[in-house]
Amino acid sequence: MVTEIGSVTTHFPSATEPFQESPAELVKRAKKGDAQACFELFESHSKRVYSLTLQLTADVTAAENLTQNIFIEAFRGLETVRDDAEFATALYRRTANAALLWHAKHVAIHESAAGSAGIPALLAESQASALSGGCEL
């Protein structure tokens, strides 16, 4: 049974419909604005997306935020997806790209903060002190 609530269409399985739908059918329904289909797509992919972002960032908060943002982007770009396999591929590509971008920004922020403390100068200083400490080449 399909019910329209405001501008959102939801799908509630009736007694004659199978409880589990194919992933391709979920994508079709989600493209039509079915909130339940979007939720089911989220449920079927969110653990994997979160796990990958957590592995790549090693930061729980960042992984949670990235997972949320990745799904928002994925649902906004749903019209360009033909089926579930393409949805999953695009989703994991977004995941890897978002986590790598986060990592690059995170490293750049730490390097710029450390750069103000003079990390290259500290490295040169530590090498000089090691050499002056009696280390022979």
Boundaries of every domain in the chain: 2-132
Write the Ramachandran bin of 129: left for phi over 0, alpha for psi from -120 to 50, otherwise beta.
alpha
Q: With contact defined as beta carbons under 8 Å apart, do 69 and 98 qualify? A: yes
pLDDT of 10 strictly over 50: yes
Select the CATH number that applies to the domain covering 2-132 from these four: 1.10.1740.10, 3.40.640.10, 3.40.50.300, 3.40.50.2020: 1.10.1740.10
Q: With contact defined as beta carbons under 8 Å apart, do 37 and 26 qualify? A: yes
95-132 pLDDT, tens digit per residue, is 999 988 998 888 766 666 555 544 455 445 544 444 44
pTM of the model: 0.64
